[in-house]
Chains A and B, each alone.
Chain A
Amino acid sequence: MIWNAVRESEAPEKRRTRQLADLKDLVARLYNRVPFYRGRFDSQGVKPTDIRNLEDISRIPFTTKDDLRETYPYGLLAADEEDIVEVHTSSGTTGTPVVDAYTRNDMDIWAEVMARCLMMAGAEKGDVVQNGYGYGMFTGGLGVHYGAHAIGCNTIPVGGGNTERQLQLMRDFESTIITCTPSYSLYMAEVAKDMGLNMADLKLKSGIFGAEPWSDNMRREIEDKMCLKAYDIYGLTEIIGPGVSNECSEQNGLHINEDHFYPEIIDPETGEVLPDGEKGELVFTTLTKTGTPILRYRTRDITWLERGECGCGRNLVRMHRLLGRTDDMLIIRGVNVFPSQIENILMEIEETQPHYQIIIDRGQSHLDDVELLVEVEPKFFSDETKELERISRKIAAAMKNKLGVNLHIRLVEPKSIERSMGKAKRVIDKRIT
Chain B
Amino acid sequence: MKVIQISVFMENKNGRLAEITRLLASKNVSLRAVTIADTADFGILRLIVKDPDYARDVLLEAGFTAKETDVLAVAMDDEPGALAEVMELFEKNQVNIEYLYSILAGKGNKADVVFKVEDLERGQSLLKQNGYDKPLDL
Contacts and interface: CB of A to CB of B under 8 A. Distances in A.
Interface in B1-26: 5, 7, 9-11
B125 interface: no
B98 A384 contact: yes
Do most interface residues of chain B lie in helix, strand or loop, or is the interface mixed?
strand
A383 B41 contact: no
A384 B39 contact: no
A271 B9 CA distance: 51
Given A376-B9, A383-B116, A385-B37, A411 B67 contact: no
A383 B101 CA distance: 13
Interface in B27-73: 37-39, 41-42, 44, 46, 63-67, 69
Question: How many B residues are at the interface, by size bracket?
Answer: 20 to 34
A388 B11 contact: no
Most buried by B among A378, A388, A413: A413
Interface string A404-416: 0000001111111
Given A383-B7, A383-B116, A378 B65 contact: yes
Question: How many A residues are at the interface, by size bracket?
Answer: 10 to 19
A383 B65 contact: no
A352 to B, nearest CB: 13
Contacts of B116: 383-384
A394 to B, nearest CB: 15
Given A381-B67, A383-B116, A415-B63, A410 B9 contact: no
A384 B98 CA distance: 8
Contacts of A382: 7, 44, 67
A392 B5 contact: no
Interface in A386-412: 388-389, 392, 410-412
A413 B60 CA distance: 12
A255 B42 CA distance: 46
Given A392-B41, A411-B42, A383 B5 contact: yes
B44 A388 contact: yes
Given A383-B5, A383-B69, A416-B11, A411 B41 contact: yes
A414 B11 contact: no
A118 B116 CA distance: 57
5 tightest A-B CB contacts, nearest first? A383-B7, A383-B69, A385-B37, A381-B65, A410-B41
20 contacts: A378-B65, A381-B66, A381-B67, A382-B44, A383-B46, A383-B67, A383-B69, A383-B116, A384-B37, A384-B44, A384-B98, A384-B99, A388-B42, A389-B39, A410-B41, A410-B42, A412-B42, A413-B9, A413-B64, A415-B63
Interface of B: 5, 7, 9-11, 37-39, 41-42, 44, 46, 63-67, 69, 98-99, 116
